[in-house]
A = this chain, B = another copy of it.
Amino acid sequence: MNLNNEEFMTKDITHQGYPKIVTVVGAHHDGRTNFMTAAWSTYLSHQPLLFGVSIAPERFTHDLIKNSEEFNCNFLPYSETEKIHKIGRVSGHDGDKIKKLNLEIEKGHSIKTPYLQSAYAVIECKLHKSVKAGDHTFFIGEISDAFGHEEAFTDQGIVNLKKVDPTLYLGSNTYVTTRQDQKVIQDK
């Protein structure tokens, strides 16, 4: 694609920075567990290992994290897209989402929040800092454990795209995944 400056135009688009990997954020407080879908997350720091996720205050999960000071991020394969989307649409304010959506959960390793059995990878976090970011709260967690299905990762510790199709969000209820081929750039 030849991108000449003349072809550039301002558009009313807010999805330039997509696709973004989708994570299902889990939280647990005072006997109540909830999961919600989020595309606004990122690693932040190596030392300590920090990971942040942006959540609107009206989401049921928001106060669970605020009060328990912990959360997890579950990465589900592309085959689970329907479920991932539903987890994002049903609200924990309207009752137990785990029962409603028949979510299968497992006991957390380093935190009280359970993780989703269908995840190929899980990051567990203890709250490090909360930052007000416009109409959202950016919860920054210190990674207390991270684990995944052995087959889902290569010996180098990166996702094995021959075994797992990660789920990415493109905007407008549209989900995509990766090609299996990849480019490895050798530093000279």
A residues sitting closer than 8 Å to B (CB atoms) are: 1, 3-5, 7-21, 23, 39-52, 54, 73, 75, 77-79, 81-82, 85, 89, 106, 109, 117-123, 128-129, 131, 133-136, 138, 140, 143, 145-153, 156-159, 161, 163-164, 166, 168, 170-179, 181-187
Top 8 A-B pairs, shortest CB-CB distance: A45-B134, A16-B121, A13-B157, A158-B171, A44-B133, A85-B185, A42-B42, A10-B147
A75 in contact with B41 (CB, 8 Å): no
Q: Contact at B23–A21, with CB atoms within 8 Å?
A: no
Query: Could you list some 18 contacts between A and B, CB below 8 A?
Result: A1-B120, A1-B151, A3-B120, A4-B117, A7-B150, A8-B147, A11-B157, A14-B49, A16-B123, A16-B159, A17-B23, A17-B42, A43-B54, A45-B133, A47-B135, A138-B140, A161-B176, A174-B185
A153 contacts B11, C-beta separation under 8 Å: yes
Residues of chain B within 8 A (CB-CB) of A47 are: 134-135
Check A13 against B44 for contact (C-beta < 8 Å): no
CB pair A122 B85 closer than 8 Å: no
Given A1-B151, A41-B42, A176-B182, check contact A18 B21 (CB 8 Å).
yes
Partner of A184, one of B9, B135, B168, B174: B174
**Which B residues touch A5, using CB under 8 A?**
106, 117
Hey, which chain B residues are within 8 Å of A13, CB to CB?
121, 146, 148, 153, 157-158
